[in-house]
Chain A
């Protein structure tokens, strides 16, 4: 009898399983499927998917429960509650980005600014459903930039970090599906066929070196809350451009970025416990995330159309390049180029769209910092 009781106790944990946990297993499996089969942001969705299963096992030892300290909770305390992981990842991202083409035509950065409209519009909309801090955190899904979304949501102590992360990374991967209908809705075929011949400019190495320093100072002076985000991004870029730290630049781009990505995905999954995730609010957050991406795209396109009102014939812009101002790099730039080629097989917009896309990276970080400054 004693033997049977002992044997039965091995399976007693099944009694602690809830349907919400099983739903989370399904979500975890879906993320893993999307990562492997659809190749959607696999470096993040796969750790997040596996982590979602890991932390939703009854009495999971991966997260802190009672007196038992779980490793994922420990990672969260070490690297997320103080925003360290997203900032370190930004060094790697900064080292990966070549701002050269953008520096040749700096006016393209204005599209990056215009395409942050979705963030601020979503803040306005989310304010009706959530308290201000959560609304601001949800709005930053529109930054189309995972580390910025994590940084802002964490700084504002949002209870919806897990859902915000899933929305941010999912929509980034879904840019090729989300953006084209919005662009087509807001532009005519004639506008989409506007050609923009690319003339290569000349940017000195000194400009490339001074650029990250100047951006850090300017952004830091206006939005001090953004200085950590912008500063780490620009520090990574300075490593790349200085020309004397190639080994560090390579390490930041590869080893550092990969290592942080692994722990970041798992750590975010620590926030995807059933009690925090399986609730109607999550669906609302996913919907608001979509709104943010749609209005980001609209903001960029409409800004280009506005400029076209003042530009002479022959100098008009293809308004589609405005859509690349969202930060989802390089997907958005490629989507715009592909759409240009679909309308006219000689309409090469890639250099413009990628430059605008890079500017979106800077603008989204600054927008995140502005949100924090406005919330202070």
Chain B
């Protein structure tokens, strides 16, 4: 049986999921850059 109306739930999940993962990874990237700056040997 096809759930033709499922896109109303799954499409927003797809968009939120992709934005969410890029944001989380973006924050991790910034955190690593910060760590690299702070712990860099002079």
- A23: CB under 8 A from chain B? no
For A120, give its contact among B14, B23, B25 (CB under 8 Å).
B14
Are A370's CB and B20's CB within 8 A?
yes
Please tell me which one of the listed residues B13, B17, B18, B25 contacts residue A110 in the complex, with CB atoms under 8 A apart. B25
Contacting pair B2 A129 (CB below 8 A): yes
| B residues 1-41 in Cβ contact with A at 8 Å | 2-4, 6-7, 9-11, 13-14, 16-18, 20-29, 31-33, 35-36, 39-41
A83-109 to B contact mask, C-beta < 8 Å, 1/0: 000000000000000000001001101
Interchain CB contact under 8 A, B25 and A211: no
Query: How long is the Cα–Cα vector from A136 to B22 in the complex, in angstroms?
Result: 19
Extra contacts besides A107-B29, A131-B3, A132-B10 (17): CB < 8 Å: A103-B32, A109-B32, A120-B13, A124-B11, A124-B13, A127-B3, A128-B7, A129-B3, A132-B6, A135-B10, A218-B27, A218-B31, A219-B24, A223-B24, A359-B25, A367-B17, A374-B16
Report, nearest first, the 8 A-B pairs whose CB atoms are least far apart. Answer: A127-B6, A127-B10, A106-B32, A113-B25, A204-B39, A120-B14, A120-B17, A206-B39
Question: Which residue of the partner chain, among B7, B16, B36, contacts A127 with CB atoms under 8 Å?
Answer: B7
What residues on B are CB-neighbors of A222 within 8 Å?
Answer: 20, 23-24, 27
Q: Could you say which residues of chain B place their CB within 8 Å of the CB of A363?
A: 21, 25
Q: Is A121 an interface position by the 8 A CB rule?
A: yes
- What is the interface of chain B mostly: helix, strand, loop, or mixed? helix
Total residues of chain B contacting the partner, CB 8 A: 31
Q: Which residues of B contact A366 (CB under 8 A)?
A: 21, 24-25
Q: How far is the CA of A371 from the CA of B21 in the complex (A)?
A: 10
Is the C-beta of A214 less than 8 angstroms from some C-beta in chain B?
yes
Q: How far is the CB of A140 from chain B (nearest CB, A)?
A: 11
In the complex with contacts A120-B13, A203-B36, A207-B36, A112-B3 CB distance below 8 A: no
Q: A114-B22, A128-B4, A206-B39 are in contact. Are A123 and B28 (CB under 8 A)?
A: no
Instruction: Tell whether, in the assembled complex, residue B3 and residue A207 are in contact, meaning their CB atoms are under 8 Å apart.
Output: no
Q: Please give, as numbers and ranges, the residues of chain A lying within 8 Å of B16 by CB-CB distance.
A: 374
- Give B residues with C-beta under 8 Å from A: 2-4, 6-7, 9-11, 13-14, 16-18, 20-29, 31-33, 35-36, 39-41
Is there an interface contact between A202 and B13, defined as CB atoms closer than 8 Å?
Answer: no
Q: Would B7 and A124 count as touching, CB distance under 8 A?
A: yes
- With both chains docked as a complex, state the minimum distance between the C-beta of A212 and any C-beta of chain B, in angstroms: 11
Complex CA gap A121/B21 in Å reads: 14
Task: Decide: B25 and A109 in contact? CB cutoff 8 A.
Answer: yes
Alpha-carbon distance A366/B11, docked complex (angstroms): 19
Q: Are B40 and A204 in contact (CB under 8 A)?
A: yes
A207 touches B21 (CB 8 A): no
B32 touching A207, Cβ below 8 Å: yes
**Which of A123, A127, A132 meets B17, CB within 8 Å?**
A123
Interface flag for A362 (CB, 8 Å): yes
A residues less than 8 Å from B32 (CB atoms): 103, 106, 109, 207, 211, 214
B11, B21, B28, B29: the one contacting A367 at CB < 8 Å is B21
Please encode chain A, from 350 to 376, with 1 for each CB lying within 8 Å of some chain B CB and 0 for all others.
000000000100110011001100100
User: Taking A204-B41, A223-B24 as contacts, is the C-beta distance between A106 and B14 under 8 angstroms?
Assistant: no
Q: Is A34 interfacial (CB-CB < 8 Å)?
A: no
For A207, list chain B residues within 8 Å (CB). 32, 35-36, 39
A106:B29 contact, CB within 8 angstroms: yes
Please report the C-alpha to C-alpha distance between residue A302 and residue B13 in the assembled complex, in whole angstroms. Answer: 21
- Would you mind naming 17 contact pairs between A and B with Cβ atoms under 8 Å apart? A109-B32, A119-B17, A123-B14, A127-B3, A204-B36, A206-B35, A207-B32, A211-B32, A214-B31, A214-B32, A215-B31, A223-B20, A366-B25, A367-B21, A370-B20, A374-B13, A374-B16
